[in-house]
């Protein structure tokens, strides 16, 4: 999976959704923590879209318990041929247990998304940059999802996204909640490399998500010539 180009991921816990996602998505984010028999689903998957797998811990918006078994399942998922990327939390990497996922992915030449989520607020500008830089340092993509209350929160996130991108980091950012909903369509214009959307609106996995068809349409309307798929020039440090 190549994150040099923007990737629109259809988020799901049911890989049977993949055929409905093909027209609009570039990949499927498979939420193992929400899935019934996730390894069984991976074993039976024969879809066309590549898979980005994650087994999200409860503290970061998932349903998986924070234990060794969670990471063992995530590591096992890397063995399946359609899995082309993995997402593991920044805290898990910093605490050491997540390093096994990073190492296992590196052995298979799979890109790693290192993610962190704030479901309460948007950190101040300095903290935003620090978190995003740390995530990008540990992974091939640094992902940061925050909760926006005001327009200033969203602007701060866009600025951090743009600045880190211009420094050469590969990042994915979004502001959760109604105040930040538009960021899911606009953030790619500032360098964000991944967008997430459920195939079915009822299956949203984070506050403020658009459904897949809506987000794909917004992305195309905002960027009909595909500029969002191009990395900004690192020499351009303006906002």
Give catalytic residues, as residue numbers.
117, 143
Measure CA of the first residue to CA of the last residue in the chain; give whole Å.
28
Give the separation between CA 113 and CA 143, rounded to whole angstroms: 7
Residue 158, token pair as written in the block: 């866009």
d(CA 64, CA 11) in angstroms, rounded, equals: 16
Instruction: State the Cα–Cα distance between residues 179 and 5, nearest whole angstrom.
Output: 27
Half-sphere CA count of 22, side-chain side, radius 13 A = 9
Strands in 83-204 per DSSP E: 83-89, 112-117, 141-147, 171-176, 194-198
Q: Give the DSSP per-residue string, 84-108.
A: EEEEEEHHHHHTSTTHHHHHHHHHT
Task: Please report how many Cα atoms fall inside a 13 Å half-sphere around the Cα of residue 211, on the Cβ side.
Answer: 10
């Amino acid at each position: 999976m190549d994150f040099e180009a923007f990737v629109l991921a259809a988020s799901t816990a049911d890989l049977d959704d993949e055929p409905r996602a093909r027209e609009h998505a570039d990949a499927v984010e498979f939420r193992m923590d929400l899935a019934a028999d996730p390894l069984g689903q991976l074993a039976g998957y024969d879809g066309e879209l590549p898979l980005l797998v994650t087994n999200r811990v409860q503290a970061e918006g998932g349903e998986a318990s924070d234990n060794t078994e969670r990471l063992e399942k995530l590591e096992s998922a890397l063995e399946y041929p359609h899995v082309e990327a993995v997402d593991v939390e920044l805290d898990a990497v910093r605490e050491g247990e997540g390093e096994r996922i990073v190492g296992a992915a590196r052995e298979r030449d799979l890109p790693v998304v290192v993610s962190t989520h704030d479901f309460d607020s948007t950190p101040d500008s300095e903290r935003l940059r620090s978190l995003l830089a740390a995530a990008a340092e540990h992974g091939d993509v640094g992902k940061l999802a925050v909760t926006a209350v005001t327009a200033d929160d969203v602007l701060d996130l866009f600025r951090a996204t743009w600045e880190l991108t211009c420094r050469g980091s590969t990042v994915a950012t979004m502001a959760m909640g109604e105040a930040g909903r538009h960021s899911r369509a606009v953030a790619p214009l500032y360098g964000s490399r991944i967008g997430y959307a459920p195939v079915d609106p009822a299956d949203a996995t984070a506050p403020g998500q658009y459904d897949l068809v809506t987000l794909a349409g917004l992305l195309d309307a905002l960027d009909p010539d595909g500029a969002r798929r191009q990395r900004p020039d690192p020499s351009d440090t303006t906002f």
